[in-house]
Amino acid sequence: MSEYSPELSGLAENPNLPQRLLDHLITLADEDLCQALVRRDALTARQARELARRSDPWTLRELIARGALPVQDIPSHDPWSAVAAAGRADVPAGWIHDLARHDDPSVRVALVEYGGRSEYLLDLLADDPHLAVVCAVADSAALPDRLARRLAARPDVPVRDALARNTATPPDILAALSADGGSPPVERCGRCLDLPRACGDHEADVRALRSAALQNPATPATGLERFHDSPDSWVRAALAARPDLSDALYRRLAADPESPVRRSAAANPAVGEPLIRALAADPDRSVRAAVTANPALPMSLLVRLAPTVRLGTGLWPRVAAASPEELRDLARSTTAQVRALVAARPDLPADLAAVLARDADPSVAKRVAAHPALAPDLLHELAERHGPSLYPSLARNPRCPPGLLHAMAVTGALGHAALLAVAQHPSASPATLRLCLASPYDRVRASAAANPALPVAAMVRMLGAARTPVAEQDPGGRAP
């Protein structure tokens, strides 16, 4: 096949696709379809070999990295295939040793990316002559302290910058990098790499690596006050987001002339209630909106802010942290926006969810319609009362009954997002999935084909089984 087929791509992801049909699908696979097939769990060695034969180089590497292709079938003469296997326990140590000395530095960089949790490998490459390889080592999440200290002594800004961004770097090294760029003084920056000799002016690069260390949550707070008057507002904004500063510094940052800094402070629960209240009255609308993302937002302030800002589609952090008593108080509010905020919480008590489902305001009903505690009869009631405007939320409800899913799909009133939710729903009936397979939207058809509830007979038809000897029966041996 040379043309993309959403249905076959969906089948490639369907966990209930019988092995015989999977074998047949693999024989139809082009490079695009192989990308979906290699992500399946429990591929047999024979299936993996056939996929390897059909895959493009990038997909082949994913197949190898996932461990699906037996080590004896990995083309070790191809360095990129061997690199993809670097993180596997069954790969011979000799491969790693040879790859670490490969002529192409990009191969050695990729070797760290695939197998960088091995201290043996990191030790091999820590003194690599190519700076990009050393930077990859410095960026490894498995970087041991002793190696971090060795790399921190290198006078190269790119290496220190990688250390500054790595949460595995020891705190004392991060503190030194944030203070003055570390010691000994740097001798080469990123611009020097393209020049015959060092440029001699590394100030901008050193400031950037200091800022990177500042934003690293593993950097100790001690000494960070020096950044409060940084000329870069994004540096001050990063400082304002930290949870470990003094009250005096938070006050200074909350009064910063640049709104991005105040926005950062407004969403930070560590600034304390007085500053949160002050920032809620900020002249900049984006700062006031940022306060709503603060999990320490006082409840009285939440009630006052809700009617004045866009609620968005997400759950406000303060509502997510509300106690059962606070939720019930909010649900009794006379302000619809406040009740809508409560309705968005996915773990509402069942009785409270039912109360909000019968709310007269459509915005409240829309937010609670996907709640898994709602009974099927109440979902039918919501659909009748509010019509198509509520269909997308109802289709996302895991308890939405098959009959309602089908009724919504039949109306033709579902947009792309709602029909996609129907196609993905585990309770969708075969008849509903057939409707979804006729959709003009590729993602909807692909999702219907990937739905475990899809009958095997439909899978067979998609594969053109009338022209193949594939038997039409489900995995349990029953006729469809």
Per residue in 408-436, pLDDT (tens digit) is: 999 877 788 889 999 999 999 999 999 99
Buried/exposed 409-443: b ≥16 CB within 10 Å, e otherwise: beeeebeeebbbbbbbbebbbeebbebbbebebeb
CA nearest neighbour of 71 among 86, 56, 51: 86
Query: Within 13 Å, how many C-alpha atoms sit on residue 439's CB side?
Result: 32
The set of residues, in sequence order, having a beta carbon less than 8 Å from that of 231 and lying 6+ positions away, is: none
Average pLDDT, the chain: 89
SS3 156: strand
- Write down the pLDDT at residue 480: 36
- In angstroms, the CA 251 to CA 231 distance is 18
- Write down the pLDDT at residue 467: 46
Model confidence, pTM:
0.79
The fraction of the chain above a pLDDT of 70, given in percent, is 94
Task: Find the mean pLDDT for residues 437-464.
Answer: 93
CA nearest neighbour of 432 among 442, 440, 422, 441: 422
Tokens (6 digits) for 101? 């000395």
- Write down the pLDDT at residue 197: 64
Q: Output the CA torsion 113→117→120→123 (10° steps).
A: 60
- pLDDT(2) > 60: no
Q: What tens digit of pLDDT does each residue of 108-149 get?
A: 999 999 887 788 889 999 999 999 999 999 999 999 999 999
- pLDDT(471) > 60: no
- In angstroms, the CA 190 to CA 109 distance is 17
Task: Find the mean pLDDT for residues 387-413.
Answer: 91
At residue 12 the predicted structure's pLDDT band, cuts being 50, 70 and 90, is: very high
Please say whether the beta carbons of 241 and 267 come within 8 A.
yes
Buried/exposed 111-148: b ≥16 CB within 10 Å, e otherwise: bbebbbebeebbebbbebeebbbbbbbbbbeebeeebb
Q: End-to-end CA distance of the chain, in Å?
A: 27
- In angstroms, the CA 480 to CA 474 distance is 6
Tokens (6 digits) for 83? 């690199």
At residue 470 the predicted structure's pLDDT band, cuts being 50, 70 and 90, is: very low
Q: What tens digit of pLDDT does each residue of 198-248 get?
A: 676 788 888 888 888 888 989 998 878 878 888 888 889 988 999 989 999
